[in-house]
Structure 1
Amino acid sequence: MARIWAALVALVFALVGFLATATPARGDTAGLNAFFASYHADTGSSVALGDGRTLWLFGDTFTPAGTFRRNSAVVQGSDSVVRPRSGTFAKASAAGHWYWPGEAVREGTRLRVLAMDFTCAEPCGAWDMRYERTDVLTYRLPDLAYLGRVSLPRRTSGAMWSQLHAARDGYTYAYGSYAVTGQLGKAVEVARVPSGSVSCVSCWRYLGTRMGTSMELGTVVSVVRKAAGGYRLYSKRLDMWSEEILAYDSATPYGPWGSRRTVTTTPQDSGRWTYTVEAHPEQGAGTGRLALTYATNCPSLCGEYHLTAITVSAP
């Protein structure tokens, strides 16, 4: 009898161990990468919803069912299980237009999402898309019901507002990248708005171009707060033309930025390239670690979108 009980106890512990392994812990990049292997999407940003859940927003997406969407979303529960939402998360503003989502920020019982509006004249080639403007979309929490949109004014630089950072100085900062003719890398404009007021268009204050092409940034910059104070910016260097993920430091969310370093490199094979690095501090990647994702595709926009999650030393 003692042997039987010992065997049962051992079986229980084995099952507990199996379940703990089968359900990926928050910050487990292996679990995220297993999901990304079947959910082919790009430009993945994430935001904590304040109740233990995390919302992930994606651009072009091929779902496991084989459907294509211009944008999609999944909810990562407090149990770390990822549950895709049906349909397109951000509905197009007009016929012939689509949204590619940027980052989101939680403001009380509202979620604000920066969504870039694009269109394309027929016949629409792989690189013929045209940026129109960025809208701020509002969703209700906790059910993520859509409540409406407001449009940000088009800047003369053509800056595509896509990134947000809720700082601790009473402001939320926005970052918009734009190309400069004849120069590699993107320049980045910075704006700020009082905390809780991202959807108040008249509240935005534009601080001008704070990051030049000499920083060799890609289209997306992702800003996080450093544990010891100050801020760190991550970006894929020059998007498709390099393997490097860069980091810069600043005492403020708007620069000046310095202490440039390469934090890691991304694999390049069979003509594929990587782009759009995003930081995910809410993932709790472990002591002294920060989760990043980057997207992969091929130069002809082959549709083989893929995200990869990695961890780097936390700032």
Structure 2
Amino acid sequence: MARFRAALVVLCLVLAGLVATAPPARGDTAGLNAFFATYHADVGSSVPVGDGRVLWLFGDTLTPAGTFRRNSAVVQGPDGVMRPRSGAFLKASAAGHWYWPGQAVREGSRLRVLAMDFTCTDPCGAWDMRYERTDILTYRLPDLAYLGKVPLPRRASGAMWSQLFRARDGYTYAYGSYPVAGQLGKAVEVARVPSGYVWCVWCWRYLGTRMSPSMELGTVVSVVRTAAGGYRLYAKRLDMWSTEIIAYDSATPYGPWGSRRVVATIPQSDGRWTYAVEAHPEQRVGAGRLALTYATNCDRLCGDYHLTAITVTAP
């Protein structure tokens, strides 16, 4: 009970902005975790913006001042210091709607962001939400000024497009997950577009479902290049209920995927669940290591609502 009370005191101080943390060293997971402990948000994708800075995009965010936002952004400088931007980074598409961020990719002097549009369903409780579509939002670099958006067409599968990966073959790949009746895992549809043209929705070529529910994937998948010239996919096994982070390998960014393995196990904690594994290859975490983050949530506001950074062996 004493430890519980102490944790509540620390959380209250954090939310009041009274607890200071040392600035993180660039790519140091201890430093990243010191920041995440005071920045209560989830998802957490990252993208280098071409001038030594890295933009982090977060979903639901509780600020130190106690303000709730549906999304937020933090700029990590070349010095490693994380500097939150004020307000929501992705402005709502309409009244009663909000954006949750997917991944982003830099295309020259433009940043393209996949933004998932949601709205409430009755009675608009914590889980009463409906996915509408994914928009491609464009921002100018280096000042991150918003320039406009284009909507992606809805697919028959209902795939929610949230992940991007720029491959070596001249294409940028997009991944959209969708539920399958009677299956716990998500199926994933894949599309590709010539790199530099993510904004061109009529340039997208849909490759169909390339990952089945039998792969036990959650909503978020994260793809990176391997040293051998292939690709590795990371995901949380069956979002929320499992503690395993799994990986698959492929010779292409669209599969087929094999060599399933568990690369990390998340510590178990009663009343908490974990989800949204993201890879961060731009973070310098030591030779032969790759930084991953995962989000932790709980039934009600708690100090564990934040990201955690870990490292695994680099592929």
TM-score, normalization by structure 2? 0.91
Secondary structure of 1:292's aligned partner: strand
1:205 Cα deviation (Å)? 0.3
Tell me the percent identity: 84
The answer on whether the counterparts of 1:47 and 1:105 sit within 8 Å (CA) in structure 2 is yes
Counterpart in the other structure of 1:70 = 70
Counterpart in the other structure of 1:267 = 267
Counterpart in the other structure of 2:216 = 216
Go from structure 1 to structure 2 and tell me whether the alpha carbon gap of 1:151 and 1:302 turns closer, same or farther (over 3 Å shift): farther
CA-to-aligned-CA distance 1:21-52 (integer Å, 9 cap, x gap): x5532210011100011110000000001100
Secondary structure of 1:270's aligned partner: coil
1:123 Cα deviation (Å)? 2.0
Q: Distance in 1 between matches of 2:277 and 2:23?
A: 26
Say which structure is richer in helix: 1
Go from structure 1 to structure 2 and tell me whether the alpha carbon gap of 1:110 and 1:26 turns closer, same or farther (over 3 Å shift): same
The answer on whether the counterparts of 1:161 and 1:176 sit within 8 Å (CA) in structure 2 is yes
The answer on whether the counterparts of 1:61 and 1:305 sit within 8 Å (CA) in structure 2 is no
RMSD of aligned Cα (Å): 1.4
Say how many residue pairs are matched: 295
1:79 equivalenced with 2:79 (yes/no)? yes
1:298 Cα deviation (Å)? 1.9
1:56 equivalenced with 2:59 (yes/no)? no
1:301 Cα deviation (Å)? 7.9
Counterpart in the other structure of 1:27 = 27
Go from structure 1 to structure 2 and tell me whether the alpha carbon gap of 1:209 and 1:202 turns closer, same or farther (over 3 Å shift): same
CA-to-aligned-CA distance 1:206-258 (integer Å, 9 cap, x gap): 00000000000011000000011100000000011111000000000000000
Counterpart in the other structure of 1:143 = 143
Counterpart in the other structure of 1:131 = 131
1:116 equivalenced with 2:100 (yes/no)? no
The answer on whether the counterparts of 1:186 and 1:213 sit within 8 Å (CA) in structure 2 is yes
The answer on whether the counterparts of 2:26 and 2:81 sit within 8 Å (CA) in structure 1 is no
TM-score, normalization by structure 1? 0.91
Counterpart in the other structure of 2:19 = none
Secondary structure of 2:240's aligned partner: helix
1:245 equivalenced with 2:245 (yes/no)? yes
1:305 Cα deviation (Å)? 2.5
Q: Which amino acid aligns with 1:43?
A: V
Secondary structure of 1:60's aligned partner: strand
The answer on whether the counterparts of 2:122 and 2:128 sit within 8 Å (CA) in structure 1 is no
Q: Which amino acid aligns with 2:239?
A: D
Secondary structure of 2:147's aligned partner: strand
CA-to-aligned-CA distance 1:265-305 (integer Å, 9 cap, x gap): 11221210100000000012110000000000125687962
Say which structure is richer in strand: 2
Q: Distance in 1 between matches of 2:262 and 2:300?
A: 27
Q: Distance in 1 between matches of 2:303 and 2:198?
A: 33
Counterpart in the other structure of 1:296 = 296
Secondary structure of 1:35's aligned partner: helix
**Runs of 5+ consecutive residues of structure 2 not aligned to the other structure:** 1-21
1:100 Cα deviation (Å)? 0.2
Q: Which amino acid aligns with 1:168?
A: R
Q: Which amino acid aligns with 2:194?
A: P
Go from structure 1 to structure 2 and tell me whether the alpha carbon gap of 1:47 and 1:263 turns closer, same or farther (over 3 Å shift): same
1:44 equivalenced with 2:35 (yes/no)? no
The answer on whether the counterparts of 1:105 and 1:166 sit within 8 Å (CA) in structure 2 is yes
Q: Distance in 2 between matches of 1:184 and 1:97?
A: 27
Q: Distance in 1 between matches of 2:246 and 2:179?
A: 18
Secondary structure of 1:34's aligned partner: helix
Secondary structure of 1:283's aligned partner: coil
Counterpart in the other structure of 2:167 = 167
Counterpart in the other structure of 2:100 = 100
Secondary structure of 2:282's aligned partner: helix
CA radius of gyration, larger in: 1
Q: Which amino acid aligns with 1:157?
A: S
Q: Distance in 2 between matches of 1:302 and 1:134?
A: 30
